[in-house]
Structure 1
């Protein structure tokens, strides 16, 4: 072969090699596998008129930075919860003894007086106290003296009965069990106790999720694989409501897994050089929880369920926006309270303008059968809130209860007749406190915003994992 022919031959070989290399044919199989769980995370989010890319941009650019700043404020950082409830389903003898599982308590002096309910003229709740009604009592006294005495007093026992009736009526709308009024409930500073991997694992941790999935089934068409990821049988559900239930739980599970992978405990419990622990992203743990090989090719489905849950809670915020904009977010610090009110209003205005909201009217809209499904739906979520009392790690229990209550609050907003009547399913009408009001407690509002903040953080962290895998 002549020299020019050899040069042409080698040039052709080089060109073919270059083309194959550029197209990725010589990349490692591991690299291709790493990309699989993301390459399918595109396009529309099932049961919603929205795409993954739309949510990514909206959340990462507009919502996440604002939420991150808002949740640092005193009104949202103190959450009242009972971490001492006994597990109602089995004897819990698997308490996590690692120091990272413990919840750091805050002193009474750290809690803003307005959050604790201290009576003052500035406190919006003051008008409902006895001192707040003293002027009216004097007027009534003068009136009674003129027209004859009329005993309008109500005994303490009667007041207690009225309170029980009101609580019962309110609980009818609740999708989860709140324990903030229980005797052992206490305030926890969420900033002192961030959600991250504590080392809590093993049979106790596995039992929680297996109970959540298997004991709240609509039927027996489910299984749990070896990695404790939920695998429905070919995703065949008899109705949209059942599919939505499983997608919400799967989305919550996915979000928590992403938090644990992005804030993974990189130092051991006996690492005395780092007594406070070292946390950071663990890409191997992320791959184990979401790659096609370890999830029976369900990894992308789990990630899309996170987006589904995000859209459900986003819609709840939009629906309750007229109500939430009227709240005072009172802590006793006038300057910060004003800043919080403005920040909440800013976020809610953005949420209202989101172009492709989840349509809650698709669920529970077919008469008597839907009412039965709604009741079953509600009872299953309440059952999940009970299971959270069985978590052996106190810090995990704290965030599990908060995120469960946040989701329950979102469902209450979407499917409570009070919110439907006052605000309307897709209404932009202004909410007035002179109307018969829907009602959210401070704890529900705190859990709603913090739970949505956790979902927002998960979607933001997904982009970070994308960058690492690239």
Structure 2
């Protein structure tokens, strides 16, 4: 089944023989200790990190940054008031920047607010006919009646489809629009038992940890057993490639978040000024081989794995956005045309990446077993998306929810290849659909991964002469 080939092919490219340590000797520059493994060809494929760096940093990154700053992608609707479904959490951030400021009603473009009616069956049911027709008409005049009805039918299907995240109910009175540009992801001081509990639940309970592995997978936990690392990672070789890929994805996402926090660190906080910038010490604490018992460089390498997964999803979803009657609607006609043009340019460029995997030619397996693996994979990831509602820092919760939904949307795309290929060139699509919330999360999440790759270049330069 195609959905299983994706993870098998990409996971194979990251063969865990690459986890052979070059040592945790404190000799050499800090750059060498952090980036000792983040170079050269990846095992079992023709893809090398330098090619990815060049493709992202010099070509794709600038386009993505421009896209996510446009109105359609800067406003994300999210419910930050949902209670933690797993435990009671009363933790708080240590600095004032943890707060999230939601948008006032008049700050959100009218087309974005109206567009929720395309995807909300409840909203369409509750509105009277005249008001409903007016709001649906405001969404996109080019949509036919059949397309609008398909949106309602899709909602029913979407609730039971192969989604990898439990998305917020956009019709909830607690769901609010947030301007992502005014609430950037950066260091908030969120740490300690609460943060440890979040990551512990993710790694220990949802990353397919074998019973035989006694050492914590959680990087925030104290190292035990063999601190050098090689023996610890040998457990991955005993797992099927899908489960290894799951762990690598989560590790890569965690690494990306840590890079963001190190790159936008609160360097100065007074009543008159807040100064944000790169904190080399914070970066070293998270990724220096000596300070992380040899694991830091592995975490950075896993970042490239999640980058390739999300890049692959963008290359696959192009037909969905290419349909001529699909509009990224804000009610600003000029910008709506511009944003779709830039979006398609990014998707075509993503598809042109020379080192995409040909997953269809690799690894076939038993259909029943593959189906079960997919169900387990999806359920574990859905659990992680629910854990995001337990994050005590609201800004961390915002970006955690967005990035897990973005990765979940990428997985949904990869596992829906046949449905995407069979999409009609126009009109309703009953087999595959993306909500605006998923679209915004997909591109902002990939924008975060792309930013992390770009920030590694900055930290390399800063660390060259640090010993």
Match of 2:77, SS state, is strand
Tell me whether 1:179 sits opposite 2:147 in the alignment: no
> Contact (CA 8 Å) 1:70, 1:343: kept in 2 or not?
yes
TM-superposed deviation, 1:63: 0.4
Comparing 120-129 with 200-209, greater Cα deviation is found at 120-129
- For residues 1-400 of structure 1, what are the structure 2 equivalents within 5 Å? 31-46=28-43, 49-96=46-93, 98-117=95-114, 119=135, 121=137, 123-124=139-140, 127=143, 166-167=155-156, 169-183=158-172, 184-218=174-208, 219-220=210-211, 221=213, 223-224=216-217, 227-228=220-221, 232-234=232-234, 235-268=236-269, 271-274=270-273, 277-326=274-323, 327-361=326-360, 365-400=365-400
Structure 2 stretches lacking a partner, 5+ long: 1-24, 116-134, 224-228
Task: State the alpha-carbon separation in 2 of the partners of residues 453 and 178 from structure 1.
Answer: 20
Residue correspondences, number: 405
User: Cα–Cα, structure 1 residues 179 and 98, in superposed 2: closer, same or farther, change >3 Å?
Assistant: same
Task: State the alpha-carbon separation in 2 of the partners of residues 111 and 292 from structure 1.
Answer: 45
Tell me whether 1:403 sits opposite 2:409 in the alignment: no
> Contact (CA 8 Å) 1:209, 1:228: kept in 2 or not?
no
TM score, norm. by length of structure 1: 0.80
TM-superposed deviation, 1:120: 6.7
Among 409, 417, 421, the alignment partner of 1:423 is 421
Comparing 255-264 with 104-113, greater Cα deviation is found at 104-113
Task: State the alpha-carbon separation in 2 of the partners of residues 225 and 174 from structure 1.
Answer: 26
TM-superposed deviation, 1:97: 5.6
Aligned to 2:130: none
TM-superposed deviation, 1:325: 2.6
Cα-Cα RMSD: 2.8
The CA deviation string for residues 332-391 of structure 1, in whole angstroms up to 9 with x for no partner, is 001111110110111111111111114555588432111111100000000000100000
> Contact (CA 8 Å) 1:364, 1:373: kept in 2 or not?
no
Match of 2:29, SS state, is helix
> Contact (CA 8 Å) 2:312, 2:356: kept in 1 or not?
yes
> Contact (CA 8 Å) 2:256, 2:449: kept in 1 or not?
yes
TM-superposed deviation, 1:214: 0.4
User: Cα–Cα, structure 1 residues 70 and 169, in superposed 2: closer, same or farther, change >3 Å?
Assistant: closer
User: Cα–Cα, structure 1 residues 391 and 31, in superposed 2: closer, same or farther, change >3 Å?
Assistant: same
TM score, norm. by length of structure 2: 0.80
Match of 1:339, SS state, is helix
> Contact (CA 8 Å) 1:49, 1:356: kept in 2 or not?
yes
* Structure number with bigger Rg: 1
TM-superposed deviation, 1:422: 3.6
Task: State the alpha-carbon separation in 2 of the partners of residues 86 and 289 from structure 1.
Answer: 30
The CA deviation string for residues 28-67 of structure 1, in whole angstroms up to 9 with x for no partner, is 9665344222132112335754110110000001100001
User: Cα–Cα, structure 1 residues 436 and 164, in superposed 2: closer, same or farther, change >3 Å?
Assistant: closer
TM-superposed deviation, 1:165: 8.9
Match of 1:42, SS state, is coil
Structure 1 stretches lacking a partner, 5+ long: 1-27, 134-158
Aligned to 2:118: none
> Contact (CA 8 Å) 2:110, 2:331: kept in 1 or not?
yes
TM-superposed deviation, 1:217: 3.3
TM-superposed deviation, 1:126: 7.8
Task: State the alpha-carbon separation in 1 of the partners of residues 253 and 364 from structure 2.
Answer: 21
> Contact (CA 8 Å) 1:414, 1:420: kept in 2 or not?
no
Tell me whether 1:457 sits opposite 2:455 in the alignment: no
User: Cα–Cα, structure 1 residues 381 and 414, in superposed 2: closer, same or farther, change >3 Å?
Assistant: same
Match of 1:117, SS state, is helix
Match of 1:293, SS state, is coil
RCO greater where, 1 or 2, for CA within 8 Å and sep 6 or more? 2
Match of 2:216, SS state, is strand
TM-superposed deviation, 1:168: 5.1
The CA deviation string for residues 59-100 of structure 1, in whole angstroms up to 9 with x for no partner, is 001100001111110000000111000001111111326311
User: Cα–Cα, structure 1 residues 400 and 233, in superposed 2: closer, same or farther, change >3 Å?
Assistant: same
Task: State the alpha-carbon separation in 2 of the partners of residues 117 and 229 from structure 1.
Answer: 49
TM-superposed deviation, 1:294: 2.1
The CA deviation string for residues 258-299 of structure 1, in whole angstroms up to 9 with x for no partner, is 00000011124xx2232xx21100011101100111222122
Match of 1:279, SS state, is strand
